[in-house]
Amino acid sequence: MTKFEWIYILLTFLILSVVIVQSLILIRTFKADHERRRKQATIEYLGPVFRELRAKVRRSKQIHDSDLSEIEIKDILGAFEHECVGLNTGVYDKEVFFRMFGPSIPEVYKVLLPYIERLRASYPKAYIEFEEVVRELEDCMRVRPELKGSITHSL
């Protein structure tokens, strides 16, 4: 091989190496951005929605349970279930959510549990997403009470 061919092979190898390294950095950057956006969506969207739902449940607990109609209870439970589907599928970040609302999630669940059990007589899988979030939080708090919320893929 000539000197020119060796230089050409070396340059090709170097360029390919740079492209691979840049691709890896780009992938890591996209993952970090996605994770940051997920955490941000949890704080900006799920936070206010859950606060409002929690307030409704607490108000009903302070007055009489009968002040909430069956339709209102189903609406509240449906909203909790909807939010918990987002948490369980990874649309929202559970660690951030748990840090924001940790102890109040089981509290709200216990208040609504009689209604959930009554509905499960007819629909055994009613509100299982909500129950899964509560159980996972209780397990997490038992094992390690301090929850992390950092972005894993950041540089």
Question: What separation in angstroms does the CA of 67 have from each of 50, 62, 70, 72, 84?
Answer: 21, 10, 10, 10, 25
Give one DSSP letter per residue of 86-106, joined into a string. HHHTTSS-HHHHHHHHTTHHH
**22-35: pLDDT as tens digits:** 999 999 988 888 88
User: CA angle, corner 64, sides to 118 and 46, nearest 5?
Assistant: 70
Q: pLDDT tens digit string along 125-150?
A: 999 999 999 999 888 776 655 555 55
The pLDDT tens digits for 43-94 are: 888 778 888 888 877 776 654 555 667 778 888 888 889 889 988 988 888 8
Burial of 91 (0-12, 13-18, 19+ CB in 10 A): middle
For residue 136 the two structure tokens come to 């996972």
User: Which tokens hold the place of 93?
Assistant: 């970040």
Average pLDDT, the chain: 82
Assign 109 to helix, strand or coil: helix
